[in-house]
Amino acid sequence: MDRLVKPDLQELSLSFIRGQRCSATFKLTNLMHTMSVAVSLTTTNPSVFNFSQSFSIIPPLSTSVFTLSLSQPSDQPPLSSPLDTILVRSSMLPTGKAHQDDLRRLFSKPGPHIFKDATISISLVGPHVVESLILSSFPKSLELAFLLSKAIFWCDERQLTSLLWCSAKRGTAYFASALIEAGVDVNSRNSDGESAMSLAVKSGNIDVVQVLVESGYTIEHSVDLFLHDAAAMNRLDLVEILCVGYQDIDLNSPDPEGQTALHVAAIHGHLEVVKFLVSKGSDPDVVDFEGWSPLHYATQEGHVEAVEFLLDHSISAKYSITREGKTAFDLAVDEGHSHLYNMLDLGDVLHRAARIDDVEAIKNCLAEGGKVNSRDQNGWTPLHKAAFKGKIESVKVLINHGAQVDLVNDIGCTPLHLAVEASHIQVASYLLANGAKATLKSLKAEIPHDLVECFKNHPSLVNPFYQEKEIA
């Protein structure tokens, strides 16, 4: 005979509850037909687990119940690797009677009279154990998989759903996948209407987001403003996963204030997110309930690169007016963002002033930060416009303030080309006198005689020009 008693299980599942002195029971049966058996129970971690009685006597062919308890209440389950175990030892007791001290002495002396009948594993189970594993740094291993599967088995549907939410906020894809495989509904929501996906996005938990996408989470466009959350955190990776995972995601879905994800990205100046959203179809001209476009918000916050990008990709945002009657330029003035004036309005004012020869307006614009070489949508600078219109005084002011005389517009014309083609002799002469080169582009218009004479005064600059135009 190799053992005297037989346990009713090989693994004891102890349901752990925070703050309680948890316990679990198991049974031992005496296999002897005519003799009582003394039993000794110990654990590999006696400071954590104890028994109501460590020594006991089981009559012949009888079964006794034993209780294992946590030594004291705890907020965290005492998980260990390897698992803690119960060691069951036994010895025949011919008299059938003995005091506790007698039994203690009996088992303190090793020898053939002591049988090692069983080793019972101790598994801590229940939702608090799963949560502890999710929040801990327990290494990923086969043992973790075992602990997790046992702990999950003892959880009901409501507890498993709550644990998925916990995993979405603090856990990893490993735990989320295990809970989903256990049957959790990925589309369930908590009392605040939040789903595991919304919690994962807000926590920036990209691995869990990917698992939820692959597990069939369904977006409710009216409430799931995931792109807003990702944009606020400058998490381009999350934005990309959501857009790839959900081809039908509404890029222009408004939040309760009427703001889109693009508004949110513009408010924070998250340029890469702004660029990506626009590239995927976000509307840079859409306004919220207060009439603010993404450009308005980027301007108010002074985000230069975002302002520049939105200007390049919007149609009407630059000129749209909020409910308070403010353009983006007005907001730049209100906030003192003078570095944005030129992009938002001064450039337009400067171009208009150059075109109509309003010298004072030109000087004022330049004094307020206007860029003398700013370009319009066709690549024209203020000097191009002044030259084309023959506004000599504006040409002089602009050049005196650093205007570059040989910049070309989108079709390759310099201010000199435009002055020549419009037959503005005085302007062309002044441009030549200030370094303009006639060789940059062949001129298509017939050159007036007076202008030819003007060019002859600058032979070092225009000889190739003469050859192109066959000027005698």
- Set out the domains of the chain in order of their start, with CATH numbers: 5-124 (2.60.40.10), 342-469 (1.25.40.20)
Which DSSP state fits 172?
Answer: -
Q: Under a CB-based contact definition with an 8 Å cutoff, are residues 387 and 424 in contact?
A: yes
CA distance 190 to 175: 19
Q: Give me the numbers of helices (H) and strands (E) for the chain, helices first please.
A: 23, 9
- Radius of gyration for the alpha carbons in the chain, expressed in angstroms and rounded: 41
Low-confidence ranges of the chain (pLDDT < 50): 440-448, 458-472
Which DSSP state fits 36?
Answer: E
For the chain, give the number of residues.
472
pLDDT of residue 440: 45
Buried b (16+ CB within 10 A) or exposed e, 290-324: eebbbbbbbbbbbbeebbebbbebbeebbebebee
Residue 24, phi then psi, degrees to nearest 5: -150, 155
Q: Is the N-terminal amide bond of 77 cis, ω within 30° of 0?
A: no
